[in-house]
Amino acid sequence: MNRDPPPNSTVEPPWWVRMSRWRPTSQGEAVAAEKGLLGILRSQVAVHDVKVGPGPQDYLHTHTYQPPHSAPGTPSSRPASAAVTTPPAPAVMDAAGLGPGSSGSSELPVVLLPGYGAASGFWFRVVDALASTKVLRVHAVDWLGTGLSGRPPFTAKTQKETESFFLDSLSAWKDNVGLAGSKVVLVGHSLGGYLAAAYALRHPEHVAHLVLVCPAGVPKAPEDWQRKFLGAANGVRGRVFKAAMWAWEKGVTPHSLIRALGPWGPNLCEKYVVGRFSHHGNGLAQSEADVFKTYFYHSIAGRGSGEHALRHLLAPGAWAHEPLSQRLRELKVPVTFIYGAEDWMRPAHAVELCKELRAERAQKVPTDLHCEIIRDAGHFVFLDQPEAFSRALVDALAPHLSHKEVAAAAAALSHTVQGRGDAPGTTSWGPEGGSINTGRGDDGGVG
C-alpha cells in the first residue's frame, strides 16, 4: 500500500508560533499529550497510524496493548516513557503485525471504539486489566476524522454516506492490521456503539460479538419530545431550544466552540474533566486528571472532520434517525449491552429491547441479548467503574473463550482490585428477563 506520511509533524511549533496563534494545539502537541496519558499505564503500548485509503489523511490512529511487565495492581519498575512504542513521526503504515498470527497467538481480537468527542485514550483505565488477561488482543482505534486519526474533509450529505465514511475505513483498517481472515469483537461506546452496530449489520462475517457500551440511538424518539423541551415557544427555554436546534442542523459542534475559544479552550476542557469524572466511583486521581485533561483538549481541538457526522446520524436530543431498536432486529451476531446505572442514555431502553428480541429469536450464545448495568456509574462507565466494567466485558466474551482461558482471565482481573476494596456489582438482565444480582448491595432497577 501507499506509505506516504501525513503532512503533520510530531515536533511542537517554535515558541513564536505558540505565542502568536489563536488555537493552542498542533499535531506534535497532540502526540505529546497522548504519550503523557499512555505513560501512566503499566501495559506495553504499540502506537501505529494505519493506512486506510489513498489520501494523505486516510489513516486510523491505533493503540495495541500487551500485558504489563509487572503484576496487575502493582507499580511497574519501568520508566513511564518505556510503556509506549511509537514511531518518531506519525508515519502511515501497513501494520500487519498488529493482528494475531505472527507469534501463533490465539488471543481473541477486541477493538475498542470511542464515542463522539472522545478518542482511544479514553479507555485508559481499563486497558491494563484487559491486556493482563492474556486471552484478549486489545486494540483501541480513533475513528476516521477524530482524535489523532487523519482528518480528511468531511463531505457526506446523507446518513448512508456518513456511515460509509467511518465503516469503510474501519473495514480497511481490519484488513491492514492482519485481521482480514479473523472475526473481531467490536466494543463501541456511545456514538461509537451506534457505528459499531452499523458495522456489524453491514459486515456480520467480520464480527464475533458486538458489545454496545452506553450506545447512542437505541430508542425511537417520542412523538412529543420537542414539546417537552420547547416549553412556551416565546419563553426563554423555547428560544434557547430553537437556537440549539438551529445550531445542530447547521453543523455547529462542541469541537468548533472549543476551537473558537482559542486560548480559553484548554481551561474549559479542564473544568469539564474535573466536573464530569468526579460524580461516580472514586473519580480520577489527580495524576490521571492532569494528563487526561490535556489529552482531551488536543484530541478535539484539531481541524474539523468526523465531528460533522453528528447531524446526519442523530436528530437534536440525540435521537437516531434510524434507531437501533429497529435496526438490531436484523443483526446476525451476538450483542451485549453494558451501561452505567446513572447513564443519561437510559439503560431501560436496552433492557426492553433485549426482552423483545429474545421473544423473537433464540440467543446465539449465552451472553447474547444481555444488558449489564453497573452501579455508581454514568455514561462513561469504563472511567467511573473500570474494574466492574472490565469484569462485565470479559464475562460477556466468555462464550468465545475456553474454560481455561476464562479461569485465567478471572484470575488476572482479580488482581486488579486487590487493595482497592470491593468494586460495585452489576445487575444482569438474563434470558428470562429477570434481574440477577452479581455483586454486593441491594438489587437495583432502572429508573
Q: Please indicate, yes or no, if residue 4 is contained in any of the structural domains.
A: no
The cell for 343 is 447513564
Picking from 170, 155, 151, the residue whose alpha carbon sits closest to that of residue 62 is 170
Q: Please indicate, yes or no, if residue 447 is contained in any of the structural domains.
A: no
Radius of gyration of the chain measured on its C-alpha atoms: 21
Q: What is the pLDDT of residues 425-437, one digit of tens each?
A: 655 555 544 433 3
Q: Please indicate, yes or no, if residue 360 is contained in any of the structural domains.
A: yes
CA–CA dist 343, 334 (Å, integer): 23
Task: Say yes or no to pLDDT of 421 above 60.
Answer: no
DSSP states along 75-102: --SS-GGGGEE--SS--EE--GGGSTTT
* Lowest mean pLDDT, pick from 12-16, 45-49, 56-60, 75-79: 75-79
Q: Please indicate, yes or no, if residue 319 is contained in any of the structural domains.
A: yes
Side chain identity, residue 106: S
Torsion sign over Cα 112, 118, 119, 120: negative
pLDDT confidence of residue 79: 36
Contact 253, 307 (CB under 8 A): yes
pLDDT confidence of residue 91: 41
* Cβ contacts of 145 within 8 Å, gap of 6 or more: 151, 152, 154, 165, 166, 305, 306, 307, 309
pLDDT confidence of residue 316: 80
Q: How many CA atoms lie within 13 A of 152 on its CB side?
A: 17
User: In 179-291, at which residue ranges do the beta strands (DSSP E only) sit?
Assistant: 184-189, 207-213
CATH number of the domain that residue 116 is part of:
3.40.50.1820
Q: Please indicate, yes or no, if residue 9 is contained in any of the structural domains.
A: no
Task: Say yes or no to pLDDT of 410 above 50.
Answer: yes
Q: What is the pLDDT of residues 108-160, one digit of tens each?
A: 999 999 999 999 999 999 999 999 999 999 999 999 999 999 999 999 999 99
The cell for 122 is 479514553
Q: Please indicate, yes or no, if residue 44 is contained in any of the structural domains.
A: yes
In degrees and rounded to multiples of 5, residue 107 shows phi and psi of -60, 145
Picking from 220, 231, 185, the residue whose alpha carbon sits closest to that of residue 395 is 185
The range of the structural domain enclosing residue 24 comes to: 15-437
Q: Please indicate, yes or no, if residue 125 is contained in any of the structural domains.
A: yes
pTM for the whole thing?
Answer: 0.85
Side chain identity, residue 390: S
- 107 burial level (CB within 10 Å; 0-12, 13-18, 19+): middle
pLDDT confidence of residue 51: 97
Q: Please indicate, yes or no, if residue 444 is contained in any of the structural domains.
A: no
Task: Say yes or no to pLDDT of 257 above 90.
Answer: no
Total domains in the fold of the chain: 1
